Amino acid sequence: MSPPVLGHGHAEHRFIVATIIRVPIAFDPDKREQALKARGLDFAQAGEIFAGQHFSQPDTRADYGEERHITVGTLQERLVVVVWTQRGEARRIISMRKANERGQARFQTHLE
DSSP H stretches of helix in the chain? 29-39, 46-51, 101-111
Cβ neighbours, 10 Å, residue 72: 23
Beta bridge partners of 24: none
Looking at the 3D structure of the chain, how many domains does it have? 1
CATH of the domain at 63: 3.10.450.530
62, 1 contact by CB (below 8 A): no
3 in a domain, yes or no? no
- d(CA 4, CA 44) in angstroms, rounded, equals 45
Give the pairing type, strands 25-27 and 90-98: parallel
Please give the average per-residue pLDDT across 74-87, as a whole number.
94
| Segments forming the whole domain that contains residue 86 | 25-111
Chain segment 22-79, per-residue pLDDT in tens = 789 999 999 999 999 999 999 999 999 999 889 899 999 999 999 999 999 999 888 9
Chain segment 90-102, per-residue pLDDT in tens = 999 999 999 988 8
Whether pLDDT at 7 is above 90 = no
Please give the average per-residue pLDDT across 11-20, as a whole number.
56
